């Protein structure tokens, strides 16, 4: 039977360490979330960030903007927060509504406070194998593998999904950890054959139970980032977990796998914020 890579346990351990670090600081750092109203799922996510901050003793504030907010208004807010010495971490809740230019909003963000790792400079550092502000979801996936002592070096890894926030950065992190990495996507030919080669399979697709038993090599390790509502209304991942448990060696469950780690990694990033002047700026 597969080992269940329980994210709640891993998150609790990481949270305890973070709480102790914040308690030892003279002034607790503060996270500010900028959210455009209108998405109930985002409301829940933002509330969870607030809870995590309060659990670990970090400051938290939410700026909720109206659904029809103007580009200039949200840009001005992000610039103001970027220049505010009392704010150490800024999260712009994505996706923004279609009438807004997300890239232009992100460009207003001080890259040093970008604890969600969305600024192109931080994304570029991660893609180049550097260390810094890594997107929280893939950082959490790697932290779970580390927590359970799963060896990545030398392994064949296939990441299904190439989004900027999950699939791509997960591939860079696996590469940095010395896996041999393939990135698969919706145009990958013979996807099942590609995935079947993998010792480590990462699913970041957004399709309920898309990865089936026949696509997985016996003994593979599976990291499932999917958060989907199945036809019967239950929450499920991108992997057909119930039918692969006696086939794979380890798997993150949904819920309770990668999800609980994400917010903890945001706070890890918050503690890594370095506000020294940039060499070419200020």
Using CB under 6 A, list all residues that contact ligand NAP. 137, 160-163, 165-167, 184-188, 191, 204-207, 225-228, 258-259, 262
Nearer to ligand NAP (CB atom), residue 235 or residue 271: 235
Nearer Cβ to ligand NAP (79/217): 217
Nearer to ligand NAP, 77 or 118 (CB): 118
Nearest approach, Cβ of residue 85 and ligand NAP (Å):
30
Q: What is the DSSP letter of 93?
A: P
Count of all residues that appear for the chain in the document: 282
Q: How near is the Cβ of 280 to ligand NAP at its closest, in Å?
A: 32
Residue with tokens 């699939």: 167
Closest distance between ligand NAP and the C-beta of residue 161, in Å? 4
Least distance in Å: CB of 258 to ligand NAP?
Answer: 4
Find the shortest distance in angstroms from Cβ 94 to ligand NAP. Answer: 9
CB closer to ligand NAP out of 75 and 224? 224
The nearer residue to ligand NAP, 179 or 265, going by C-beta atoms, is 265
Closest approach of ligand NAP to the CB of residue 157, in Å: 15
DSSP run (H or E) holding 200? strand 200-203
CA–CA–CA angle 200, 202, 203 (5° rounding): 145
Nearer to ligand NAP, 87 or 157 (CB): 157
Tokens 């990481």 belong to residue: 14
- Residue with CB nearest ligand NAP? 163
Give the Cβ contact number of residue 160 at 10 Å: 28
Contacts 24+ apart (CB under 8 A), 215-221: 215/191, 216/244, 216/247, 216/248, 218/247, 218/248, 219/248, 219/249, 220/248, 220/249, 221/145, 221/150, 221/248, 221/249, 221/250, 221/251
């Amino acid at each position: 039977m597969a080992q269940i890579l329980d994210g709640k346990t891993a998150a609790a351990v990481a949270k305890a360490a973070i709480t102790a670090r914040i308690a030892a600081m003279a002034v607790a750092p503060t996270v500010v979330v900028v959210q455009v109203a209108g998405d109930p799922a985002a409301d829940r996510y933002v509330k969870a960030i607030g809870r995590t901050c309060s659990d670990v003793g970090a400051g938290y504030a939410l700026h909720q903007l109206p659904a029809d907010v103007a580009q200039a208004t949200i840009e001005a807010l992000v610039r103001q927060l970027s220049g505010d010495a009392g704010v150490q971490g800024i999260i712009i809740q994505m996706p923004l509504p279609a009438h807004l230019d997300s890239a232009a909003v992100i460009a207003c963000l001080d890259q040093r406070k970008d604890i969600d790792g969305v600024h192109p400079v931080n994304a570029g550092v991660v893609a180049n194998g550097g260390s810094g502000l890594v997107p929280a979801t893939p950082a959490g996936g790697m932290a779970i593998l580390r927590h359970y002592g799963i060896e990545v070096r030398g392994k064949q890894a296939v990441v299904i999904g190439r989004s900027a926030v999950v699939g791509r950065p997960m591939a860079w992190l696996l590469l940095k950890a010395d896996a041999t990495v393939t990135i698969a996507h919706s145009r990958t030919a013979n996807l099942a054959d590609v995935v079947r080669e993998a010792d480590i399979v990462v699913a970041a697709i957004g399709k309920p139970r898309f990865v089936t038993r026949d696509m997985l090599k016996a003994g593979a390790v599976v990291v499932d980032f999917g958060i989907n509502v199945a036809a019967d209304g239950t929450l499920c991942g991108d992997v057909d977990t119930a039918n692969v448990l006696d086939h794979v060696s380890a798997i993150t469950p949904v819920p309770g796998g990668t999800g609980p780690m994400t917010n903890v990694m945001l706070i890890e990033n918050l503690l890594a914020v370095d506000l020294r002047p940039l060499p070419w700026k200020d």
